[in-house]
């Protein structure tokens, strides 16, 4: 079976680990009868200190490749921060971004390859040669797309990079709008539309519906291609709140209520065929979408694999019914 997953960072990566487990896909055997292609969000990408940083692609790569800081959910395991401290000693800004020494090596490889003319998709493939994530990881686009957030405070109304809003301000500055700068002109990266066209099913993990899955669907052509498939999503919202992170701030910025039902309605029934909600949200009904409830906390590898299995089983069932 060919499965395509549209993934952000932590929620996407953990779900993917469960999906690999339930399919028996190991690092040495990237096919194993089924294949997973991950279309990764690049809207969070940022250039700092001359380095191109792709937080969501790296979170997926490190998580599936065994290099992630487990408790944090992002960044490298056994990380140190000497480079960061040295940069701060020079007074270099910004100082709010947590750039670890091991992680810096990834960004140097990426910056060097990009300076030599390689597109991000080729760089990602090269980085994955080391990490062997067991999935094919493709950025949503090779073009530069950056999510900016329109905020207003004592300094006036302005657009700041998503990372500045998310990390520096902890999403606490009220957002008036969330804009994908460059997204209208972006083209899907090589392999994205082909993978979707060839997919048996498409899964939306519990990733941020606005700045992760929303950014991917915003690349011209992607939403239409995905909507033509059997699509099942897993709600990132349980009992009216995000499980972790500040997805509620992103949802309010675009005028969507923080609930499992509202997120499904935001994706829309032309896109979604099935929607998994937590038991707490068992009553949620969405016109034109098959809603099923089950525990949705990715509390340990077994629970996560069972969630991924439930999403996959529902997708197969709905595909057969169609
Ligand atoms: P990010 O790029 O690191 O923000 O990660 P994602 O884009 O993948 O989004 C994280 C989303 O995953 C948040 O909206 C969380 O509410 C959701 N999430 C995190 N852990 C869980 C979990 O255990 N279960 C469910 N259902 N959602 C989760
Ligand atoms: Ca992200």
Taking alpha carbons only, the member of 148, 127, 105 closest to residue 57 is 127
Instruction: Please write the tens of the pLDDT for every residue from 38-92.
Output: 999 999 999 999 999 999 999 999 999 999 999 999 999 999 999 999 999 999 9
Ligand 1 pocket, 40 CB below 6 A? Answer: no
Question: Using CA atoms, how far apart are residues 298 and 111, in angstroms rounded to an integer?
Answer: 34
Q: Is residue 210 part of a domain?
A: yes
DSSP 165: I
Q: What is the pLDDT of residue 154?
A: 87
Residue 252: which domain range?
Answer: 1-45+142-322
The answer to whether residue 99 sits within a structural domain is: no
Q: What tokens were used for 96? A: 């709010």
Q: Which residues surround ligand 2, an ion (CB under 5 A)?
A: 8-9, 44, 56
Beta strands in 101-213 (DSSP E): 136-139, 146-153, 156-161, 175-181, 201-204
DSSP states along 35-48? EEEEEE--TT-EEE
- Ligand 1 atom index nearest CA of 166: 4
Per-residue pLDDT, 28 = 55
The ligand 1 atom nearest the CA atom of 205? 8
Residue 5 within any structural domain of the chain: yes
What's 272's domain CATH number?
3.40.50.10680
| pLDDT given at position 160 | 95
Beta bridge partners of 156: 153
HSE of 145 in the Cβ direction (CA atoms, 13 Å)?
29
The answer to whether residue 173 sits within a structural domain is yes
Give the number of the atom of ligand 1 that is nearest the alpha carbon of residue 59.
3
Contact 256, 208 (CB under 8 A): no
Any atom of ligand 1 within 6 Å of the Cβ of 304: no
Within-domain flag for 119: no
Residue 258 near ligand 1, beta carbon < 6 Å = no
* Residue-level pLDDT at 27: 47
Find all residues with CB under 8 Å of 229, minimum gap 6, and list them.
4, 196, 199, 201, 202
Q: How many CB atoms lie within 10 A of CB 166?
A: 21
Q: Which ligand is nearest to the CA of 298?
A: 1
| DSSP state for residue 287 in the 8-state scheme | T
- The total number of structural domains in the chain stands at 1
Q: Is residue 35 within 6 Å of ligand 1 at its C-beta?
A: no
Report the mean per-residue pLDDT for the chain.
96
Please state the pTM of the whole predicted model.
Answer: 0.96
Q: Considering the domain boundaries, does residue 188 fall inside one?
A: yes
Q: Is 297 in the pocket of ligand 1 (CB under 6 A)?
A: yes
Residue 252 lies in a domain: yes
* Those residues with Cβ within 8 angstroms of residue 126's Cβ, 6 or more apart along the chain or in another chain: 109, 113, 118
Please report, in tens digits, the pLDDT of each residue of the chain (322 residues total): 999 999 999 999 999 999 999 999 974 554 458 999 999 999 999 999 999 999 999 999 999 999 999 999 999 999 999 999 999 999 999 999 989 999 999 999 999 999 999 999 999 999 999 999 999 999 999 999 999 999 998 889 999 999 999 999 999 999 999 999 999 999 999 999 999 999 999 999 999 999 999 999 999 999 999 999 999 999 999 999 999 989 999 999 999 999 999 999 999 999 999 999 999 999 999 999 999 999 999 999 999 999 999 999 999 999 999 8
């Amino acid at each position: 079976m060919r499965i395509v997953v549209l993934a952000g960072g932590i929620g996407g990566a953990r779900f993917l680990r469960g999906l690999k487990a339930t399919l028996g896909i190991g690092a040495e055997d990237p096919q194993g009868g089924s294949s997973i292609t991950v279309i990764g969000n690049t809207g969070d990408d940022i250039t700092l200190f001359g380095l191109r940083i792709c937080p969501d692609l790296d979170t997926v790569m490190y998580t599936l490749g065994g290099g992630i800081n487990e408790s944090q959910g992002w960044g490298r395991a056994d990380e140190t921060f000497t480079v960061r401290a040295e940069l701060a000693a020079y007074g270099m800004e910004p100082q709010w971004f947590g750039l670890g020494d091991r992680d810096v090596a990834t960004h140097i490889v990426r910056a060097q390859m990009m300076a030599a003319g390689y597109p991000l998709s080729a760089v990602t493939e090269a980085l994955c040669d080391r990490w062997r994530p067991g999935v094919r990881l493709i950025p949503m686009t090779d073009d530069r797309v950056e999510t900016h957030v329109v905020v207003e405070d004592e300094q006036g109304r302005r657009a700041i990079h998503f990372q500045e809003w998310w990390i520096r301000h902890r999403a606490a500055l009220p957002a008036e709008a969330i804009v994908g700068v460059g997204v209208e002109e972006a083209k899907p990266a090589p392999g994205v539309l082909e993978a979707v066209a060839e997919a048996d099913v498409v899964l939306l993990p519990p990733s941020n519906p606005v700045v992760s899955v929303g950014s991917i669907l915003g690349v011209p052509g992607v939403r239409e291609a995905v909507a033509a498939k059997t699509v099942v999503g897993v709600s990132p919202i349980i009992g009216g709140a995000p499980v972790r992170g500040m997805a509620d701030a992103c949802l309010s910025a675009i005028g969507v209520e923080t609930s499992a039902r509202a997120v499904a309605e935001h994706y829309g029934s032309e896109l979604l065929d099935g929607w998994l909600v937590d038991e707490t949200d068992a009553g949620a009904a969405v016109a034109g979408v098959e809603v099923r409830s089950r525990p949705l906390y990715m509390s340990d590898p077994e629970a996560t694999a069972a969630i991924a299995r439930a999403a996959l089983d529902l997708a197969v069932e709905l595909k057969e019914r169609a």
